[in-house]
Amino acid sequence: MPRVLALAREELCLGFALTGLECKACAGKDEAVKAIVEAADAGDVAILIVEEWLLEGIDPRMRAEFQRRAKPLLVAVPGELAWEVAEGRAPDDLVADLVRRAVGGRIGIRFDTEVRNG
């Protein structure tokens, strides 16, 4: 069965794991290039999601090779995303909007800022 694999920093892999995607943590570009080659050779990876900065280590010829291939489809994603709350909005509004967009439904989220004993 074809699978989707992500390659990213360990911190970003945690986010991919929350979505149910398989993710291999890569600490550097050399490690990412090796993982990309292994994924391509495995034959069962249909989509390979790679954090942009890790792709900077790929030789232009290798990148051209991936563009010619049907599988895996190489998808670059930015890894440096900022969590910004618009002025006048509560942080839970932002989380609710993100979840609503992802799952297509309304949810209620409440952040407790107090620590309760007992």
Strand (E) or helix (H) holding 103: helix 91-103
Determine the Cα angle at 14 with ends 21 and 6, to 5°: 40
pLDDT, mean of residues 6-10: 91
Kindly report, residue by residue over 49-92, the tens digit of the pLDDT.
898 888 887 888 888 887 788 788 888 888 775 555 566 666 55
Predicted local distance difference test score (pLDDT) of residue 75: 86
Distance CA 57, CA 73 (A): 18
113 residue type, one letter: T
Determine the Cα angle at 25 with ends 103 and 47, to 5°: 55
Structural domains of the chain in order of their starting residue, each with its CATH number: 3-77 (3.40.50.10580), 83-118 (no CATH)
Q: What is the pTM of this model?
A: 0.65
Strand (E) or helix (H) holding 23: strand 22-25
